[in-house]
Every structure is written in structure tokens, then in C-alpha cells.
Structure 1
């Protein structure tokens, strides 16, 4: 299990390094990206602490969110009636972004369903999405089908 986590972390870091190397810019700030990290079921933003630290140390902006009834989010599981209730903190965050800002969404496990919904609702605010061992709906399974 630990070996698999190390492999995933190494793969993710290689992706980040590749993105950084392959993005030429005369302005160093132009290489700075905003990563939005979305945890899986039964986790919270805390599970991203190592990745957040690494990304921040190389100059990226990082937001790790707690989905509803997870981490320090005050909602209780009994208050969640649909997948849309669960992902509401991510939707609120995406809505709050400035009009021209685009983020890199990273979802793990159930976080994949959350970022899929964000991709459908806010396509203009997404630079790229990364599904790290995550649920990845097919074109026939969109968020309307997931939430019903």
C-alpha cells in the first residue's frame, strides 16, 4: 500500500516537473499555477499536506479544500442528500475565482467525481484536471446522472 502511494506521489511530481519545464516564459510568475486539491471520501484537505508543501515550495499557489462533512467542514453526513451537497464547497470556491483565473484541479478517489462536476459547471476556469486514482465519469455518465 505504501509502495503504491510513493509511486503515485512520484508520478504526480514528475507531471508537475514536466509542466514547469515545458512552460517557457520570460516572466517567472507566469509559471506559477494555482492547484486545487480535492480529497477522496473519508478524507479531508489534510491528506494533501505533503503535496501542498512541495507545490508551494516551487512557487505554486495551492488550495486544498474540505468537501462537505469532511475534514473541518462543519456539515454533518446526515445533512447531505446528494452528490451536489457533498461537492458544494468546491462549487462555491470555483464560483469565487476571478473571471480570468484558471486552475489545475487534482482529484483523488471520490474527488474525481467532484472535479468532474466542476469541469462541467466551470469549463472556462479549468486549466487542466488530474485524476489521481480517481473516479472519472464517462461522457455517458455526467454529473446529472451522478447526482440523481
Structure 2
């Protein structure tokens, strides 16, 4: 057997506003270690998704930003979970793979693992939403454990109006840009953080955060899982990350979550990719 077929393959799923691009350093590190690895785009993200026209229309009208229906308004958790199942099947050829999800990608991984647990060798949640049965990810945003999070104040439209969580990535307001950097990239080198912001999608489909998954012991509850807590996270607070673990372990005590902590912001794949690679090599 080759190195590509005799080791667990690893699929990497990003969170909202990001894309497969954010895993570039991690992908290179895993590939160098002989892993078969693939970073994928979540539904409602990537090259095939247009940007809202209000962001490029001139003269610019702030009212349009708050009201224009998003091109991704119809994307929901059903679509995102189904796409991830197909991506897992393609990477593994029907055999199970390790799936690593970041941030809201965790809700998509949870849905996909419930739909097709036989395709998931190990579910790894990296500072990710890991919602309980029949609880939407959005319900966790305002919980006491998430106090101090910074992303909510970054939205520039009502998701119920535009169908998306919209960021003003072209903002000339230095306070807004600095707060966004602190929320997502607090320990990332400034030049890298600025480049990452330039690659982000302004709209993330609200339907992904609104969907719920009914978890069963034979489905998601049967999949080995690990959680990597980011202790300096200002987008998804560490106390909430630990709540996800506690709730999952209470629901499925026969399959406890393995927990690792790293001293990073919300995006360790950019600030400390070597550390992320080492963790994933161990888990996979």
C-alpha cells in the first residue's frame, strides 16, 4: 500500500465566511507527513458563490447593505450537511475518514456524522460549534458561556432580512477592522490577518446556523470525537467550547470526548499551523 491508502485520510472543513484556502498551511503539513488530505468549501462558500451586488455598486449606499437579499439566502444545514457527506465519500472512496471542522463547520460535521456515521473515522471539532440534539447553533451565541464574544457586533444586516450574516469587509472604519481582526485573528501576524480578511466571503448563509440535527446513539453518538479548545478565542468563547463537550458527554456518556487545549485565538490554522498539524497527526 502507498502512504495515501494505508493511513486515515483527513478532510478539513472551514467555518463561516472562510473557505478551503484557510487550511493551506495545515494541508501542506499533513501532506508532508504522508496523509491523504483534502480541504473543502462549505455550501454557500467558495468560487461558485457570487457576492452581493450592494458591496460593489457605486455610489455605495449603506441602506442596500442592510436590505439586499443575499445570494446564499437559500443555503441551509440540510444542503451543507449533504454536501459534506458527498465530500467525505469522495475522499475516502466509501471508507471512513477523519473530519476536522472549525467554528460553524462543526454544526455541519454534526449533521453529516449523524447522516453517515460509517464515513467518519474521527470527528475533530477545532473551536467549533458542537450543538446538542435539536438545538440550533445560533441558540448558543447569546448563552452566558459565550459572554464577551465579538462577532455579533460585526454584522451589518439583520440575518432575518437578508438571509445571511453579512460583514462589511471593505469597511474603511479602522475601529471596525481592528475589532474584526481581534475577533477572528487575535494572534495572527497582521499581514496574514489582512490577507485572510481579503479572502473572506462577506455573506455567510444564516440557514446553516438555524438548522437542527436530531442526534442518536447509532448516528453521531457512535462516532469517536475530539475537541480542541482555543483558550484565547474571542469569537467562540472557551467556556462555551467546554459546554459543548460537557453536554455531549452527558448525552452520550459511553463515548466521551477527548479534549485538547491550545493557547490560541479563533484561527490557529493561521497563527500556529504547525501546532495544529501535530495535534491532527496524533488524532488521525
TM-score exceeds 0.5: yes
| Distance 1:86-1:95 versus aligned 2 partners, 3 A rule | same
1:72 to 47, 60, 69: 47
Structure-2-length-normalised TM-score? 0.37
Please tell me the root mean square deviation across aligned C-alpha atoms, in Å. Answer: 2.7
Q: Deviations over 1:129-148 (max 9, x none)?
A: 110000011245389xx526
Aligned residue pair count = 119
The answer for the alignment partner of 1:104 in structure 2 is: 98
Hey, what's the Cα distance between the residues in 2 that align with 1:73 and 1:89?
Answer: 14
User: Deviation of residue 46 (structure 1)?
Assistant: 0.3
Equivalents in 2 of 1:104, 1:122: separation in Å?
13
Structure 2 unpaired stretches of 5+:
51-70, 138-209, 213-284
- Per-residue deviation, 1:33: 1.9
String of CA shifts for 1:6-64, please: whole Å, max 9, x gaps.
xxxxxxxxxxxxxxxxxxxxx77475221110000000000000110000000001111
The answer to whether the 8 A contact 2:109-2:123 is kept is: yes
Q: Does 1:36 align with 2:30?
A: no
1:47-92, Cα deviation, whole Å (9 max, x unpaired):
0001100000000011111112212244741342x22223443132
Counterpart mapping for 1:1-148 below 5 A? 29=3, 32-74=7-49, 76-80=71-75, 82-96=76-90, 97-99=92-94, 101-139=95-133, 141=135, 147=211
Q: SS of the residue aligned with 2:73?
A: helix
Bigger Rg over Cα: 2
- Say which SS state the counterpart of residue 98 (structure 2) adopts: strand
